[in-house]
Amino acid sequence: MSVLDKVLSLRPGNTVARVGPGSRIPLLNPREPLRALERVPVALPCLPVQAKGALPGLLRAARSEDAVLGLACPHPTADRGAAERFVAAVHEAAMEAEHSRPLFLQAGPVRVTAVDEDSLGPLREGIFRVVDAGFSLVSLDLSRLDSYAAVEAVNALVGPVTERELSLELSAPAPANGGLLDAYRTLLEGLKQWKVPVRFVRVSERDLGGGEPDVGMLRSVVDLAAEYGAVVCVGDVREGFPRTLPTYVAAGARKVDCVGPFERLALGSWSADIRASVEEKSAASGMAAGELLSVLEDSLPPLEPKARERLEALSFAEASEVFAALGAVGTGGSVMRFLAENRGE
């Protein structure tokens, strides 16, 4: 039995159901590479796919640098088929390239804005579709709720995630008088009482001070998360890219979501009139232009061949820089070997 065959046996059941048992792509729960890299100073790289034309470049960079790679669908609940189309596009690109390094797929962050049933009902249905589509990590943005409402919302929404033992990531609720750390503690303590396992605690670059991060605060969040069996993801990294990435790793972050240049590259692949239209709608909706592009992409004209080639090449270059800055170079093969030898743990 080959290393790949052994690792394929670790794929989540919902992923196998979506891509088929004959697939040879190691689409894993991110807890598996985390387990393999427990003693290694590295953060898992997770990159947003805001234009599907970037996928071949991102995957090629992961093979070139022998790196674990996470790919995020920014708005998996935008319509009923969004999550399924994303997983299908990733799987198709990976199959075409015969990709054999560990991959994980992140849904979101999905915004949770209220706890009434009119709000939670559609979200609950959307999370079910996300899980059914094959994602192994669901990320929820709780920043518009207070800590107690956030506990209520998470408990009401994440049944499909916890029942399948997938990974759950949560951002901080809106801080009250006690600040960010107290908001996290109240959230995690409340969920502990409901036996809801949290894999990642997500803290945004903005909450850490932007391009000049508060390392002490990050270390405090890392320590707090560890008390509840979780690790920290630094999310929405833009201003400090790529300079602050090694700082996050040194402070104990175990996953970093890099928006960085990828939004600009995706937008720049379309004509000036399409970019202007997306940016105008972005300003009206309050949604970042790159995120909105990921929602609108399927309704836009296909990219010109030269634009697609340029997007792939530039995505390759930027992703390679991410892997180096996060210490992820060489992790692909080492994770595969570890998991093949330690499947039963």
Q: Domain 3-341 carries which CATH code?
A: 3.20.20.70
Other C-beta atoms within 10 Å of 306: how many? 9
pLDDT the model gives residue 343 = 82
pLDDT the model gives residue 161 = 98
pLDDT the model gives residue 286 = 87
Quick: pLDDT tens for 166-215.
Answer: 999 999 999 877 799 999 999 999 999 999 999 999 999 999 999 899 99
Q: Are strands 200-204 and 103-111 parallel, antiparallel or unpaired?
A: unpaired
pLDDT the model gives residue 17 = 98
Distance CA(69)–CA(20), nearest Å, equals 21
Quick: pLDDT tens for 259-288.
Answer: 999 999 999 999 999 999 999 999 998 888
- The answer to whether 19 and 25 have CB atoms below 8 angstroms apart is yes
Mean pLDDT over each residue of the chain, to the nearest integer:
96
Distance CA(199)–CA(139), nearest Å, equals 10
Residue-wise DSSP of 289-315:
HHHHHHHHGGGSPPPPHHHHHHHHHHH
What are the domain boundaries of the chain? 3-341
Other C-beta atoms within 10 Å of 110: how many? 20
Alpha helix ranges (H) inside the chain: 3-8, 13-19, 31-36, 55-64, 82-97, 117-133, 147-157, 159-163, 179-193, 215-227, 245-250, 262-268, 272-285, 289-296, 305-325, 331-341
pLDDT the model gives residue 344 = 67
pLDDT the model gives residue 345 = 61
> Which residue ranges in the chain fall short of pLDDT 50?
none
pLDDT the model gives residue 303 = 94
pLDDT the model gives residue 178 = 75
| 1, 107, 201, 224 from 173: Cα distances, Å | 46, 19, 11, 15
| 1, 90, 183, 208, 283 from 26: Cα distances, Å | 15, 12, 36, 33, 39
